[in-house]
Amino acid sequence: MKVYAPDGAVGSPAVSPAPSLPVLTGRRIGILDNTKPNAGALLEGLAQRLVARTGAELRLVETKNAALAAPDEVIARLESEVEAVLTGSAD
């Protein structure tokens, strides 16, 4: 019997997350919905609360497959149209 140990070299991430925006007032917020059940409702509810609290503008972007990365055209649209993106998963 062979036993494999789950250890090994651990590296640091190749990139860092973008810095948080200091305020959302007047900013454009996008939703990246992976179309999993309830993800859109969860994200839109959160976004609506942010809009009500901050006066940000809401835009919706959707990708069709939760198992794949968002297509390049969706990422390009987000980069050109919004300043912050909400994304997540729900079942």
| pLDDT 10s digits, 8-63 | 777 777 788 778 889 999 999 999 988 888 888 888 899 999 999 999 999 878 88
Examine residue 17 and state whether it is found in any structural domain, yes or no. Answer: no
First and final C-alpha spacing in the chain: 39
CA distance 31 to 74: 11
Q: What is the pLDDT of residue 90?
A: 65
Contacts of 65 (CB under 8 A, 6+ apart): 34, 35
CA distance 48 to 60: 11
Question: What's the total number of domains in the chain?
Answer: 1
Range of the domain at 43: 28-87
pTM of the predicted model as reported, rounded to 2 decimal places: 0.72
Examine residue 21 and state whether it is found in any structural domain, yes or no. Answer: no
Examine residue 55 and state whether it is found in any structural domain, yes or no. Answer: yes
**Mean pLDDT throughout 62-80?**
86
CA proximity to 62, closest of 35, 29, 28, 90: 35
Examine residue 19 and state whether it is found in any structural domain, yes or no. Answer: no
For 47, phi then psi, to 5°, come to -65, -40
Examine residue 75 and state whether it is found in any structural domain, yes or no. Answer: yes
Q: What is the pLDDT of residue 55?
A: 93
**Mean pLDDT throughout 67-85?**
89
